[in-house]
Amino acid sequence: MPIYKAIKAIFPDGTRRHEWVAGLLRPPIPAKLKQNQRELPPGGEQRLQDSLIRDFFTDRSYYPEPPEIYLATPVGQNDLRDHMFGRLESFRSSVIPWLSAAMPLQRMKVLEIGCGTGASTVALAEQGAEVFGLDVSDGALAVGRERLKLYGLHADFAAANAAEFPSVIGNRQFDCIIYFAVLEHMTWQERQASLSAAWRHLRPGQYLVVIETPNRLWYMDDHTSGELFFHWISDEAAFAYSRLTEREIYNRAFRGEITDEQRVLLARWGRGASFHDFVLAFDVEPEKLPVVSYLGEFRRQRLAKLRGVSKYEQVLRELAPNLHPAFLGSYLDVVFRKNGGRL
């Protein structure tokens, strides 16, 4: 059985399979990072769950069923567990060690765009980062505030579209701007406006980080549709084909003729990004994109059992030898440094 079919059989809902695979490839968390991790207080787990159900899973623009129906399904139960603990543990074990190797997190002023329900914010804040989190969802931010309070941490939050962040942050300055699993949920116009503004905002030597964004060059969409080659087709074709995909919560969202409103909805579910987005936003040549680190190489350097790259990634490297390999994996997990260099 081909590997994508085997994984699809294990995760029929089509959600976050890449995190399960990545979990097999994580080295131990360094002691200096692990010692900073916080735990929920007694009763905290129930309070966090209550907030998620009350504030987040009631968003009918994304969850078409009431939470008492959705969360009673196996998919809903997995989703709740993921929002409770899965995302935090993934960020702690995979992303934080990578980021801490690329930049000092202690006292770093971080603008986190797409902070969601605050799991990644906790992982950053417990390592000493000063985080300002933005998200378009008021419900997600309500959970984020409750989560930070429960972990005994502080972060500032604001509701805003990622393209609107310059008007929200005012005179605040940041050492690092992080797009956490959010670029793929923007329209192309929003993505360009936000990335361009972020790059202008940063001073030389500061960082822009993209985390967990599906690569449009990849052959498998394991983020949204669970379909082969779905990243490659046009929005019109993707809309029409969505109703044929096996991920029920996704395919029910698209019926009839495509409208401007439905185009936006298609983008919100996630269509991925590619190196082209950064070339245009940063106004640089593709081979000069200022990458200083990427998660795939970080993992390979620390895991002896993880050798080489997949056959498909090797093909991409042969086709684009001058393009940084950070843009040739299944996901974009990249640290850029303004006026920085490449690995």
* CATH code, domain with 207: 3.40.50.150
For residue 227, is it within any domain?
yes
For residue 23, is it within any domain?
no
Measured between its terminal Cα atoms, the distance across the chain in Å is 36
- Domain containing 282 equals 85-337
Count structural domains, the chain. Answer: 1
**Are the beta carbons of 194 and 186 closer than 8 angstroms?**
yes
For residue 169, is it within any domain?
yes
- What's the pTM value of the predicted model, to 2 decimals? 0.89
The pairs formed by 69-77 with CB atoms below 8 angstroms and a separation of 24 or more are 74/13, 75/13, 75/15, 75/249
For residue 13, is it within any domain?
no
For residue 67, is it within any domain?
no
* Per-residue pLDDT reduced to its tens digit, 207-236: 999 999 999 999 999 999 999 999 999 999
**Are the beta carbons of 102 and 335 closer than 8 angstroms?**
yes
For residue 257, is it within any domain?
yes
- Confidence grade of residue 62 (pLDDT, cut at 50, 70, 90): confident
For residue 106, is it within any domain?
yes
Q: Report DSSP state, residue 111.
A: E
* Per-residue pLDDT reduced to its tens digit, 228-255: 999 999 999 999 999 899 888 788 888 7
For residue 170, is it within any domain?
yes
- Confidence grade of residue 342 (pLDDT, cut at 50, 70, 90): very low
